[in-house]
Amino acid sequence: MAVLFHYGGCFFSINGRGGVSRVRRRAVAAANSEEYGKLEEKVKLGGSEVKVSRLGIGAWSWGDNIYWNWNNCFQWDGVASDRKLKAAKAAFNASIDHGITFIDTAEIYGAPYTLGAINSETLVGRFIKEKKGKDPGFEVTVATKFAVLPWRLGRQSVISVLKDSLYRLGLESVDLYQLHWPGIWGNEEYIDGLGDAVEQGLVKAVGVSNYNEKRLRDAYEKLKKRGIPLASNQVNYSLIYRAPEENGVKDACDELGVTLIAYAPLAQGVLTGKYTATNPPIGPRSLIYSSEFVTKLQPLLNRIRDIGEKYNKSPTQVVLNWLIAQENVVPIPGAKNAEQAIEFVGALGWRISNEEINELRSLASKLQPVFGLPFEIL
d(C-alpha 129, C-alpha 133), whole Å: 6
d(C-alpha 309, C-alpha 5), whole Å: 12
d(C-alpha 66, C-alpha 43), whole Å: 34
C-alpha torsion 158→164→167→173, nearest 10 = 0
Give start and end residues of each alpha helix (H) in the chain. 23-31, 78-97, 120-134, 155-169, 187-199, 213-224, 243-246, 249-256, 291-311, 315-324, 338-345, 354-365
**How do 259-263 and 329-331 pair as beta strands?**
parallel
d(C-alpha 178, C-alpha 197), whole Å: 11
Q: Phi/psi of residue 240, each to 5°?
A: -105, 5
Q: What is the DSSP string of 128-190?
A: HHHHHHH-TT---EEEEEE---TT--SHHHHHHHHHHHHHHHT-SSEEEEEESS--SS-HHHH
* Amino acid at position 189, single letter: E
Catalytic site includes residue 109: yes
Q: Phi/psi of residue 304, each to 5°?
A: -60, -40
| Catalytic residue from among 36, 109, 220, 263 | 109
The answer to whether 289 and 370 have CB atoms below 8 angstroms apart is yes
Active site residues: 109
